[in-house]
Structure 1
Amino acid sequence: MNGHLKVLVVDDHELVRAGMRRLLEENPQIGFIFEANSGEEALEMAATQPFDLVLMDISLPGINGLEASDKLLSLAPDSRIIMVTGKLEGGHIRKLLNAGVRGYITKGSSSDEMDKAMRIVMDGEQYLSPDVAQQVAMDVINGDNQNPFDKLTSRESEIITLLLRGHRNRQISSNLHISEKTVSTHRTRAFEKLQVKTTAELVRLAIRFDLWNED
């Protein structure tokens, strides 16, 4: 890593952001550290200035880390994103890496491991911490545990996310600027892939894979 890197830390917990800031401040290659407490705020910041590196929590209120990363990479394709998570889910990891995320570490990672991850990612490679890599391998071996939401296309994922937020077809049509018929078609295909028939079944499945909560 060369020069003074601009790093954005995205996490909804102030204590977590403060802890990561302290670790980052020890790295002489990092010159500027910014913070965002939500995916929405991160996107607003990324729209006005480029970041060399983004440390993104996956479990965020509103737009989650997966959605935020996908949208951020659309805004700034050259940004390097490392997901920082407290939970290990192989399906999410594979989907994020396929979408362009460069690294995946846990919140229990040491400062040395975080420095290693940043160095490798900024050099253009991907990095998975050992426990994350093990989880990915286990999920490949135990194929039955694969997250069914990984089968969805980007458009289907958008529609399912809005359904989980309580939106109806007409609202989704307006939000995504597509016809209600198109919404219905994508919804039907998504339900078939997820093997659910009702919104209630969809909610139960989302809860099972930690994609939705009742709060």
Structure 2
Amino acid sequence: MPMSKTNKQILLVDDHALFADGLKLILENLDGLDSVTISTDAFAVLSNRETLSQYDLVLIDLHMPRFSGFAFLTAVQTQSIPVTVAVISGTEKKSDIERALTLGAQGFIPKDSPSDELLSAVSSMLSGQRYLPLHWAGEIDWSPVERESKSAQTNLTERQMQVLELMRDGMQNKQIAVVLGVSVSSVKGHIELLFKNLNVNNRTACVQAAREAHII
């Protein structure tokens, strides 16, 4: 399957080693592909930005226990890390897919995709195109960054929304600081303002109040 440029490098980030090994074997059938590297730790990948930026495409799962794909996408977007990221996941939740696109994902590939569709999707994204499976055509907003930000509909700033979403994902202050590229004290300050705005006094109540208000 031809691509516009040779010596492409793909990084696959998934905490299920058996799936990752199988996917690597499939991806190695792509013409012009130089290498496929596997990592089970998205946080470790993020900590080495110089190496990360050398990949032409990062394929990442969304739901991983230590550091989610959402957190990884948030870090790449917020810190302007020069790498293309796409999601390969077993989720079929429209809200998950749209959130990933809002965070800058180049596309979404279902984990149950046939091999030929998967190869075609990866090839197109390596060529700079975006990808969604056909059954999502017309269902997903392909311009999520142009949608009205939820922060504009609330009293929260964009950064507070980011902190809130990462709290919802179960991230602690130090992890949030790494994702957003800010200090831990800055994260604590945003959380204090979230508590004040949502009239709560702990993280669990904060996330619950935000859900009840349909903020997240």
> TM-score with structure 1 length normalisation?
0.70
| Alignment deviations for residues 100-132 of structure 1 (CA, whole Å, 9 cap, x no partner) | 210101100112111221222122221101244
1:122 aligns with 2:126: yes
**Is the CA contact 1:105–1:132 (under 8 Å) kept in the aligned structure 2?**
no
Contact 1:104/1:128, CA 8 A, preserved across alignment: yes
Structure 1 residue aligned with 2:38: 35
User: 1:28 Cα deviation (Å)?
Assistant: 2.0
Look up the SS of the partner of 1:178 in the other structure.
helix
SS at match of 2:116: helix
Indicate the residue corresponding to 1:185 in structure 2: 193
Distance 1:158 1:43, change over 3 A: same
* Residue correspondence of structure 1 range 1-215 to structure 2 within 5 A: 1=3, 2-49=5-52, 50-73=54-77, 74=79, 76-77=81-82, 79-133=83-137, 136=140, 153-159=158-164, 161-162=166-167, 165=170, 176-178=184-186, 180-189=188-197, 191=198, 199-200=203-204
Identity fraction in percent: 21
In 1, are the aligned partners of 2:195 and 2:206 still within 8 Å (CA)? no
C-alpha separation in 2, matches of 1:36 and 1:80: 16
Alignment partners' CA distance in 1, 2:6 and 2:162: 38
Amino acid paired to 1:42: V
Q: 84-93 or 67-76: which moved more?
A: 67-76
Aligned pair count? 189
Q: Which runs of 5+ in 1 are unaligned?
A: 138-147, 208-215
| Equivalent position SS for 2:92 | coil
CA contact (8 A) 2:59 2:85 kept: yes
Tell me the distance in 2 between the aligned counterparts of 1:106 and 1:70. Answer: 20
Q: How much is the aligned-residue C-alpha RMSD, in angstroms?
A: 3.6
CA deviations over 1:58-81 (Å, ceiling 9, x no partner): 01122200111222353632x222
- 2:47 counterpart SS class: helix
1:6 Cα deviation from its structure 2 partner: 0.7
Q: What do the CA deviations read for 1:153-201 (whole angstroms, capped 9, x no partner)?
A: 3443324534764858xx98x9533275543113444x48xxx896445
Aligned to 2:186, what secondary structure does the other structure show?
A: coil
Whether the aligned pair in 1 keeps the contact of 2:84 and 2:106 (CA below 8 Å) is yes
- Structure 1 position 99, deviation (Å): 2.3
User: What is aligned with 2:145?
Assistant: none
Q: Specify every segment of 5 or more residues in structure 2 that has no aligned partner in the other structure, as ranges.
A: 142-149, 212-216
Structure 1 range deviating more: 92-101 or 125-134:
125-134
User: In structure 1, what is the Cα distance between the partners aligned to 2:16 and 2:117?
Assistant: 21
TM-score of the superposition, structure 2-length normalised? 0.70
Q: Which runs of 4+ in 1 moved over 6 A?
A: 203-207
